[in-house]
Structures are given as structure tokens and as C-alpha cells.
A and B are shown apart, each in its own frame.
Chain A
Amino acid sequence: MQAKSKEKLADIVGQENFSDGIIDLVSYSSDASEHSIRPQAVVWPTNAEQVRDVVLLANELGFPLFPRGAGTGLSGMAVPRSDGVVMDLARMRRIIDICIEDRVAVVEPGVVYADLEKALAPHGYFYPPDPASGKVCTLGGNVATNAGGVKGAKYGTTKDYVLGLSLVLGDGREMRVGGRNIKSASGYDLAHLFVGSEGTLGVFTEIILKINPKPTATATALAIFDNLEDAGSAIIGVMSSGIVPSVLEILGRETLEAINQNTDLNLPEVDAMLLCETDGFTQAEADFQMARVVEQFQKNQARQVRQASGGEEVVELWKARKSAYAVLARLKPNFVLEDVTVPISQVVRMFKGVQDIAERNRVSIATFGHAGDGNLHPQVLWDATQPGETQRVEKAVDELFALAIKLGGTLTGEHGIGLSKAAYMGLEHGSVSMDMMRVLKRACDPNNILNPGKMALEG
């Protein structure tokens, strides 16, 4: 990139919001995935005009732009290219409006998930998707990746809360889609086209989110199972018992062992542990639902069921669950965390399939996930310095995706495609679907400026 182009970038955002220093380039070379490429420069726009002007300049000079939130993504969505410029939106972090009457929050893309939570709390409201990285990830990143979390079964994912967006398209045109209405049947639902678009179509400058009243009571229970089949029957039993738990998590043996190594929780090291939370606006409501859950646990040969209603232990348990992947990452030098998702009835078939794949390919895979919405997190752990191990891992991952699709599932429940899964898009999406995605990409970003190389859109 020529010095002159860099000068023009700095002119748009101001010198203090531009860098081509090595420390910044290295820090923006990767996200939480295994990919790493150093960009040419980084800009930190502070308003929508700057975003627009940078996109226009990129079109004029022909350099690619890589929008970025907190860089906590696990599939390389925010990883740049060596000829590109990273656009970090973290400095656009105003909460513009919280309107309880309209049931909406209006935010800039760089607002951290936890900061919105904190701002909503005094109103008795919350924004439910609850990604594990909620303390750091940004809402712009959440929308771009259609982020989910542990509460998917009851509360859905980001797409269920996006009402409207202001954005800059890849060609530099500004657009407002959707609005503050809880309902709208007006024209194509363009706002949702951008949810999960991974920064390939436009850059958000303002986001309108639906918010929910926050349940004031919860009940928590933990059940341990000596074999996976029983846990699987229990999951199906709970999810078809007439209530919907706010959380239903499954943790496999390797995950439990790793958590035990990192905490004082002393979890039982069994084949499967189910962790369940119900919520409501009275304790009786939460407890009533939990009684249904516990019934199903017991009916399906849980070796032990333990109930807790709040307190330190519950906090620690959730903290351990949310850090599971980073804790597992300690075990081997390399890891990849997948998020294949299958229909709920297939969760255990997938879980067992993962174990077979691990055994067959002689690789280590620890699994945990959101059983209540069919979203599993097989975490493949390996040491790339060991001869042949990387190849075995690649084969195992191929088989993992093939199995998920065979079971009627999807490549990714919440992490997105990015670089990591781009090669597998054809497994899930037919040629007409792929063609339609490419048509949409060209319509929004004719010069392929925004986040090129992701989602197999250039294939």
C-alpha cells in the first residue's frame, strides 16, 4: 500500500485513529482462530461518515477492508489479507438509546455486549443471546456473525433480536433497513440479510435491537449420566416435556476433566453431565419448570441429580462452562473449536459420532455444547509439531462436517463460516443457494472490497 493511500486514510479518521505500526498490524493479524495474516494498516473510525469515506476510498484505490469487532471469532472471519486494511469499530461504542416503551436498544457497533447488559439491568431488561465471550465481544460483531450462546433453546440467537440497521454497503452507499417496530411485513426483510453476513456485504453503523424483560428467578440443576444414550434420552425428554429450559448444556468427560484441572469445582468425571437452568418471574415458576426437568433426568437413569438455586456455586459453574474452550486449549498446543448443529433428536448421535471419528483418526476431541438447541462444540486438540497429526485432524474435521450434514444439521450454529469452513460451504448449500449468495454479494459490494475470501463467495 502506498504512503499516499495511508495518508488519505489518516485524513479521513484522524491521525490518532490510524496506524501502520508493527504492534498494531500484528495484533490485528488474527482473531481467536488459527489463522494469521498481517494487514497493511488499521483504522478506528469514530462515526458513520468516516466509515462511509473509508469504504469509498477503498473502492477508489482498490484495497480490501476487514471490519472487526473484538476479534473473538473462532473461524477467521476478522482475519485480514496482506493487502488489506482492518477497520476496528471498537471506538464507535455509544449506546444511543434505550427505550423501554418501544422495547428497543439502539447502539453503535462497537458497544460491548456486557456494557449493554449493564445499561439494561436497572430497567429490569436484558438482551438475551448471551455469547460466551459477552464480556468482550461487540454487538456489531454479534450481528455480523449471528452470534448465539447458551440460551439459544429458549431465547434464540442474535437474528431474533435485530429489528433495524444503518449501514454502509460495500460500494459506499448508506442504507437504513428495518426500524424500531416489533413487527414489520414491509418488503424484503433486508435487515436479516445482513445478520450473519460476516462483514461481506456492509459495515454497520447503528443497530436497533429488541430487548426482553429479564426473568427475576432461576433454578439450576446438574445431572450426571454414566452413558451418553441416557443423557440423550434425557435431553429429548426435557425438550419435549412441555417446558423450555433457559439453558440445557451437555459436557463430555474430557471437558469435565479439563474444568477440574482448572477450578476447585470437583465435577464428577463421567460420560456426560447435563447442566440446566429454568427461569421465570417468580421462584415458583422457575421451580415448577425445574421439577419437569428433574423428572426427565431421573426417568433416564441419571446417576445423580443436584439442584441449586443461586449462590457462589452456580456462578462458578457457569463461569467454568463459559471458559471451557479456553481451558481445553491448555491441553495441547493447537486446537480448533467447531460448532456443528443438528436437530435436537440427533444430538447424541452426533456426540457419539464425534467420539467414533476421534477414535478412528486417533485424534483428541473434547465435546460440550448447547444440547437444548442442538449446537455441539467438538474441540479438536492436537500438536502440529507431531508428524502426521495435522493431517489426521484435517480428516477428522472433514468427517465431522460430513456427519453433521448427514444428520440434517448445519456446519455452524453460531461461530460462522469465515475462513475455517469456507471450503465446506458446498456440503451444506446447493449450487443455486451458493449462486444466490454470490449474486447478493455482488449487488452490495461489486468491487469485492468487504472482507474478501470469506464464506466461499468467490468460488
Chain B
Amino acid sequence: MSASAKLEIERSFRDQIGRCSRCGFCQAHCPVFGASLRPAVNARGKMLLLKEVLEGKLELSRELAESIFQCTTCASCSTNCPSGVQVPEIIKAARRDMAGLGTCHPAFVAMDQVLEQYPNIYAEEEPGDFDRPRNQRAEVVYFMGCVGQYREEEATEAALAVLDHLEVDYTLIDEVCCSGVLEDVGFGIKPVLAEKNLELILSTGARTLVTGCPYCFRTFNNKEVYAPIKQEGVKIVHLSQFLAGRDLGVRTDQVVTYHDPCDLGRHTGIYAEPRKTIRALAPNFVELPHHHADALCCGAGGGVRGAFAKNSLDMARRRLAEVEEVGAQVVLTECNSCAHNLSNAKLRAQKFRVLTTPQFILELLEQSQG
């Protein structure tokens, strides 16, 4: 549409929003709908709202935030949409429009403000100390991500221990938030943060950047501001890719299942590598009822965990019910944020464990070493 249109959804997504045929098939996939049974938060409901905005029947007011901001951007709607509507991209644009209009959900404004003042999304003053080389020259840079550094330290500790075990020549850096998530919640990547990460990564001389966080992985791979990483010939991989096919020399009879993180699966297409590692460790591997591109979201993404805690937990509980259904003793995932939300949501009565794959590897390594 016209370049002069005030709203990004009008400039860039008028046709896409119009393509929604209102079939409602997304209700089968949208995790927020699944948790709330409320059509207003389903993808179709969001498209109906934005259509009315484009038709001038509705303002992008604060009243719409409960719908527009209640989306984990998990992409299960767009993956299954017969009309090919790219809902997550539309939602991100609508959020930017709302941030511009001052009608953004307050919890999301806070995310932007925190990253104005702090180098991490949790407004933590002290970085985690993992007692590993930092800002050294090495073959590999390991990038922990905010959740790994400040909330799921044990998962990060395990990831580093596995790298140690494999005698990988790696270094940590004084990393700051990649800030990619801000683009999903209505704002933009912070250039100051991006430049710091870039400088630190490139000054190590590393040929490979391994991320513990699937979201950071996507940001480094896809965002223009981080293009110099690849231009300098540095390969960007997620830890699950880095570990796939390596001989870890341990095995277990435990029944293990795997939760596909949206950022690694639907958004990036990495399904095989995590399974390769897990199947080698645990031959009694079972898939969850929804897996690969059909996987249910853990409910944490897109800023939903912070702003809509109840529905976020409900989404995680729906996922955990599937773990029970298949009778797994352990559910593994490759995303610290998923692990965090699933662990928080797990009920006392649920006896299985939620771990990241590196945590599970480390546990088996420690057992084998007696």
C-alpha cells in the first residue's frame, strides 16, 4: 500500500491481513487459544481486529493490547494456515505500530526500558560467573543468552561442562543481551548492545559462534546489524548442532522425550540434530503427540511469560500433559527459556524431569564416571 500510510501493518501487510479467509483452522494450533478458549486471542481473532483497524472501524488502542500482545510468536498458526497468512510477522508489525502510538502493553514497554539501562533483559547488576575463560582468543565463542546466564545457570553450567568434556577450545565473552526480542515486542534492537557483542565476538578470532539460546541464534543469523559475524567468516550454530554426531560415550535406558522449541523448530527447521544426539544417549526415545513442526509451544515466547503469566503457565501445562501421556521419565529441550517455563509449570504430582539436553548429558557423564 501507500508508502505514506501511517501504520506499518498498512504499508507492509494490508494484503496479508486481507488473505485471512476466517476459516478458523488456526484454533487447532494456537497455544494461547488452547489455554484460554478465547477466540479474541487466536490468530483469526487478531486478524479480524487488524482488518477492522485497516478499514478504519477500530483504533489500535490499548484495549487491543490484550490480544495483539498475547502471542508467543510460535508460528504454529502460520505453519498450518491454508491461506498462507504470516501471522507472527503481522503481529510484530502491529506491536511496533502500537509502541509508536503509545498503546503498547506496559510489560513490553518495560522490556525496552530495561535494555536502555541494563545490558540484560532481567535488569541484573552482576553477570553470572561461570569460572571459564572470558574474552580470550579461541576457536569457539559460547554465547549463553540472558536466560542461560541469569535464570537457568545450571543449564549453562552443564553446557560448558559438556564442552569441557569434549575438549573444545572455547571462550565466553562479556556478552550483553542480543536484544533481538525487542523487535518481536514492538521495539528495535539496541545498536549499542549489538555493537558490543559484535566487537567481543570478532575480537576472539573464533571461527564458530555457538549459542545456547535458539533465539539468540536466530538474531545473529537473521538480523542485519549482526551481519558482520557471517561476513567475517564466523559460522553461527546452535549448541544442538554443535553436539550432533559427537561421541559422548554414555547411554541410558530411561524413557526420554523431546520438546521442540519454536525458535529452533518451526522458525529455523532444526529438528534432526537434537534428536540425533538424544537417540544416541537414550534408545528408549519417544516422540510427544505433537512434535516437529506440529509441536506445542511452551508458552514463554514473544514476551507472553512476563505479561500474561497465567496463560503462559497454562500453555506449559498442556505441553507437560503430553509428557505424561507418553510416559516419559525425562523431557529434554534445547532452549533454556522453554526449560525455564516448563519447570515452573510442572506440578508436584508429575514425576518426570525437565532438563536441557546438555544437563542430561552431564548427568550421564557424571554417573558413568562414578
B-contacting residues of A (Cβ < 8 Å)?
21-24, 26-33, 44, 70-72, 88, 90-91, 93, 112, 114, 133, 135-136, 262, 323, 325-327, 329-330, 333, 335
B49 touching A329 by the CB < 8 A rule?
no
- Bound-complex Cα distance A76 to B18 (A): 19
Q: B18 touches which one: A31, A90, A333 (CB < 8 A)?
A: A333
B64 touches A22 (CB 8 A): yes
A77 to B171, CA, bound (A): 63
Complex contact A330–B52 (CB within 8 A):
no
B230 at the interface (CB under 8 A from A): no
B58 x A133 contact (CB < 8 A): no
| Nearest-CB residue, chain A, relative to B28 | A135
Does the CB pair A326–B21 fall under 8 Å?
yes
Task: List the one stretch of B32-40, B191-199, B334-342, B346-354 in contact with chain A.
Answer: B32-40
Q: In the complex, A2→B202 CA distance in Å?
A: 65
- Of the residues B45, B66, B67, B83, contact of A329 by C-beta under 8 Å: B83
Looking at chain A's contact residues, the main secondary structure is loop
The docked-state distance in angstroms from the alpha carbon of A130 to that of B84 is 24
Q: Is the CB of A329 within 8 A of B21?
A: yes
Q: Closest CB-CB distance, A108 to chain B, in whole Å?
A: 13
Sampled A-B contacts (17; CB under 8 Å): A24-B40, A26-B48, A27-B40, A27-B67, A30-B22, A72-B23, A72-B24, A88-B39, A133-B23, A135-B25, A135-B28, A136-B25, A136-B28, A325-B82, A329-B19, A333-B18, A335-B21
Name the A residues within 8 Å of B25 (CB-CB).
Answer: 72, 133, 135-136, 323, 326
- A31: which B residues are within 8 A, CB to CB? 22, 24
Chain A residues near B40 (CB, 8 Å)?
Answer: 21, 23-24, 26-27
Q: A90, B84: Cβ atoms under 8 Å?
A: no
Q: Categorize the interface residue count of chain B.
A: 20 to 34
Asked if A26 contacts B52 (CB within 8 A), the reply is: yes
With A27-B49, A28-B39, A71-B39 as known contacts, state yes or no: A330 contacts B22, CB within 8 Å. no
Residues of A within 8 A of B63 (CB): 21-23
B145 nearest CB across to chain A (Å) = 33
Answer whether residue B156 sits at the interface, using C-beta atoms and an 8 A cutoff: no
Option from B28, B37, B84 in Cβ contact (under 8 Å) with A262: B84
Bitwise interface map of B from 39 to 68 toward A, beta carbon under 8 Å scored 1, else 0: 111101100110010000010000110110
Asked if B28 and A32 sit within 8 Å, CB to CB, the answer is: no
Given contacts A23-B45, A71-B39, contact A327 B82 (CB under 8 A): yes
A262 to B40, CA, bound (A): 27
**Chain B contacts of A72 at CB under 8 A?**
23-25
Please state if B28 and A325 are interface contacts (CB–CB under 8 Å): no
Minimum C-beta distance from B16 to chain A (A): 10
Select which of A26, A28, A44 is within 8 A of B37 by beta carbon.
Answer: A44
- Contact status A91-B21, CB under 8 Å: no
The answer to whether B48 touches A29 (Cβ under 8 A) is yes
Is B356's beta carbon under 8 Å from chain A?
Answer: no
Minimum distance in angstroms from B303 CB to a CB of chain A? 17
With both chains docked as a complex, state the minimum distance between the C-beta of A263 and any C-beta of chain B, in angstroms: 10
Nearest-neighbour CB distance to chain B for A367, whole angstroms, equals 17
Interchain CB contact under 8 A, A133 and B45: no
Residue of A nearest to B39 (CB): A27
Taken together as a complex, chains A and B put the C-alpha atoms of A44 and B40 apart, in Å, by 13
Chain A residues with CB under 8 Å of B211's CB are none
Q: B18 contacts A32, CB within 8 Å?
A: no
| Contact (Cβ within 8 A) B19 A330 | yes
Partner of B48, one of A30, A44, A91: A30
**Binary per-residue interface labels of chain B (66-108) against chain A in the complex, 1 for a CB within 8 Å, 0 otherwise:** 1100000000000001111000000000000000000000000
B227 nearest CB across to chain A (Å): 31
Residues of B within 8 A of A23 (CB): 40-41, 45, 49, 63-64, 66-67
